[in-house]
């Protein structure tokens, strides 16, 4: 018997934008016009000042969004959503919602990792997967050979043998960096000509996903719906559509220059100081990707308005994590640090007739996002969710005071290799002013930052103090943050025993994929 939806239920649209930093959005104060449509939408929306992800990168972040639990709560060796686990999508499907997801080719939010659960239609564009088993899959895949490498072996070509001899000689003379630079320029010179920016893109752009979403919306009839879009346009390598780049900068994008910049930015043989001369141009490409996302969201909202659906929806926009541009010497978003540029993301929630309130600056963890959105549309959250609805507090005047916890596996950049997952845990505890970051291993590194006096997190405070440090942090502050970290670890251990069945299902799925050679 077909379930009949409660006519009082509201539809839900959730858009997650890969790599979108909060401080690169106009409605968070960014000076460049990356988000003109979202800026206007923010005037009638709830904008959370400090939305904090549950982990970094995507495979540690989105479990928190969809199943309202910490990413490693089923074990360090479990990635994604467990088979049969209650999710945001299953909760809505069980209330007779039509559900669809369109994800722009990110392999870690595919059906292999359980993200299809609860969706009537799940399209993740697998043909766009550019997967390298040797490199981190959540880092950009590049076309050039890594500098300083050349094929060896008895069947090597004369050119290869000559290159190997030159490389060996150069490194023996202390000229390795010179060789690497020359080899990189050589690889770029012999690469096929780059004449169209669209041909260089590694993921489907936002307009393709919006087109499919619009078509789907026209097929579902009067049922309430849940639509999830995961957009990859700001993700590296950064190849924005030309019109978005032109709208942002007033110039045409040069495909050859864009490819050169991306390949250079992805080199791993250089000190961070060498990348600074390319930083401005790279950020322009990144920002243009955000501008394209903004334009396509405007197009989707326009369709919803024309169909008289917009005011029947709750609309939410956030990101899985941010992106680093040398703020701490790094690039991209590898799980090696939990600084603000990668853990603080935008969170905008719009509901028709909602009073726009000034929200507190206390951190709001993604752990609470799914129960909050379900509350906003009138659906009860699954009992397995660890977060709580902040919808009443968001309607103001409200407060929430619990610090946000962030966790990931330190330097786990390729979790498709099961043996790479059992790495030390990196966690952070962030309250409104202070952040504790710890790597959980022997001789663990512990750092405390005062985000009010040191928002760039450049000067960690002394860890063991007995009085005031810089007039702010005390031993009680450190003790409190450490206590929260300890409680989190204890809760995680206790929760794993309660969720043993989910863990077993996840491990069997991983083993099946490894044995049968399933591809993402």
pLDDT digits (tens, 9 = 90+) for 104-128: 999 999 999 999 999 999 999 887 6
Reported as a single tens digit per residue, the pLDDT across 208-229 is: 999 999 999 999 999 999 999 9
CA pair distance 498, 494, nearest whole angstrom: 7
pLDDT, greater one: 304 or 498: 304
DSSP letters along 299-311, please?
Answer: HHHHHHHHTT-GG
Residue 69 confidence (pLDDT) above 90: yes
Pick from 99-103, 123-127, 204-208: least confident: 123-127
* Token digits of residue 90: 């299953």
CA pair distance 80, 109, nearest whole angstrom: 7
CA pair distance 27, 18, nearest whole angstrom: 18
Band the pLDDT of 474: cuts 50, 70, 90: low
pLDDT, greater one: 300 or 499: 300
* Token digits of residue 483: 């206590």
CA pair distance 260, 271, nearest whole angstrom: 18
pTM of the prediction? 0.91
pLDDT, greater one: 277 or 420: 277
Reported as a single tens digit per residue, the pLDDT across 303-335 is: 999 999 999 999 999 999 999 999 999 999 999
Would you give the DSSP letter of residue 472? T
Residue 274 confidence (pLDDT) above 70: yes
Domain residue extents for the chain: 11-144+191-516
Task: Assign 114 to helix, strand or coil.
Answer: coil
In terms of Cβ atoms closer than 10 Å to its own Cβ (0-12, 13-18, 19+), residue 397 is exposed
Q: What percent of the chain has pLDDT over 70?
A: 89
- How many Cα atoms are found within 13 Å in the side-chain-facing hemisphere of 64? 31
Residue 199 confidence (pLDDT) above 80: yes
Reported as a single tens digit per residue, the pLDDT across 337-382 is: 999 999 999 999 999 888 777 788 999 999 999 999 999 999 999 9
Band the pLDDT of 463: cuts 50, 70, 90: low
Q: What is the mean pLDDT of the chain?
A: 88
Per CATH, domain 11-144+191-516 is 3.40.720.10:
yes
Band the pLDDT of 400: cuts 50, 70, 90: confident
- Tell me what pLDDT residue 513 has: 77
- Tell me what pLDDT residue 130 has: 44
- Tell me what pLDDT residue 325 has: 98
Residue 520 confidence (pLDDT) above 50: no
Band the pLDDT of 500: cuts 50, 70, 90: confident
Q: What percent of the chain has pLDDT over 90?
A: 67
Reported as a single tens digit per residue, the pLDDT across 135-160 is: 333 333 333 344 444 444 455 677 77
């Amino acid at each position: 018997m077909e379930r009949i939806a409660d006519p009082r239920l509201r539809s839900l649209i959730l858009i997650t934008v890969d790599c979108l930093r909060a401080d690169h959005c106009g409605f968070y104060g960014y000076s460049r016009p990356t988000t003109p449509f979202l800026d206007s939408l923010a005037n009638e929306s709830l904008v959370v000042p400090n939305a904090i992800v549950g982990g970094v990168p995507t495979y540690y972040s989105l479990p928190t969004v969809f199943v309202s639990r910490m990413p490693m709560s089923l074990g360090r060796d479990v990635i994604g959503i467990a088979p049969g686990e209650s999710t945001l999508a299953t909760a809505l499907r069980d209330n007779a919602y039509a559900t669809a997801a369109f994800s722009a080719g990110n392999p870690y939010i595919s059906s292999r990792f359980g993200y299809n659960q609860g969706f009537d239609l799940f399209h993740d564009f697998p043909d766009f997967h550019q997967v390298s088993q040797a490199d981190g899959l959540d880092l950009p895949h590049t076309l050039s050979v890594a500098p300083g490498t050349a094929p060896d072996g008895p069947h090597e070509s004369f050119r290869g043998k000559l290159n190997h001899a030159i490389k060996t000689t150069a490194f023996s003379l202390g000229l390795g960096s010179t060789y690497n630079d020359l080899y990189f320029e050589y690889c770029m010179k012999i690469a096929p000509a780059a004449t169209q920016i669209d041909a260089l893109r590694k993921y489907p752009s936002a307009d393709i996903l919006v087109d499919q979403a619009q078509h789907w919306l026209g097929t579902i009839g009067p049922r309430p719906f849940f639509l999830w879009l995961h957009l990859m346009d700001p993700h590296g390598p950064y190849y924005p559509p030309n019109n978005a780049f032109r709208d942002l900068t007033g110039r045409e994008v040069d495909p050859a220059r864009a490819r050169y910049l991306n390949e250079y930015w992805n080199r791993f043989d250089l000190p961070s100081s060498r990348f600074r001369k390319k930083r401005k141009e790279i950020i322009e490409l990144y920002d243009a990707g955000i501008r394209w996302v903004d334009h396509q969201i405007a197009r989707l909202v326009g369709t919803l308005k024309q169909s008289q659906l917009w005011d029947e929806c709750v609309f939410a926009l956030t990101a899985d994590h941010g992106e680093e541009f040398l703020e701490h010497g790094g690039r991209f978003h590898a799980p090696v640090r939990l600084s603000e540029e990668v853990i603080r993301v935008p969170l905008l929630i719009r509901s028709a007739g909602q009073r726009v309130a000034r929200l507190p600056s206390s951190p709001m963890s993604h752990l609470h996002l799914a129960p909050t959105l379900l509350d906003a549309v009138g659906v009860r959250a699954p009992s397995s969710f660890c977060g709580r609805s902040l919808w009443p507090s968001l309607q103001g005047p409200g407060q929430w005071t619990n610090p946000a916890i962030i966790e990931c596996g330190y330097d786990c950049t390729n979790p498709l290799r099961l043996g790479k997952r059992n790495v030390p845990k990196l966690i952070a505890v962030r309250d409104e002013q202070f952040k504790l970051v710890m790597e959980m291993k022997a001789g663990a590194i512990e750092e405390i930052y005062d985000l009010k006096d040191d928002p760039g997190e450049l000067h960690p405070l002394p860890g063991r103090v007995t009085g005031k440090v810089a007039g702010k942090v005390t031993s009680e502050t450190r003790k409190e943050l450490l206590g929260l970290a300890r409680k989190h670890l204890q809760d995680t251990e206790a929760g794993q025993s309660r969720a043993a069945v989910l863990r077993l299902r996840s491990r069997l799925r991983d083993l099946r994929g490894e044995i049968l050679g399933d591809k993402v």
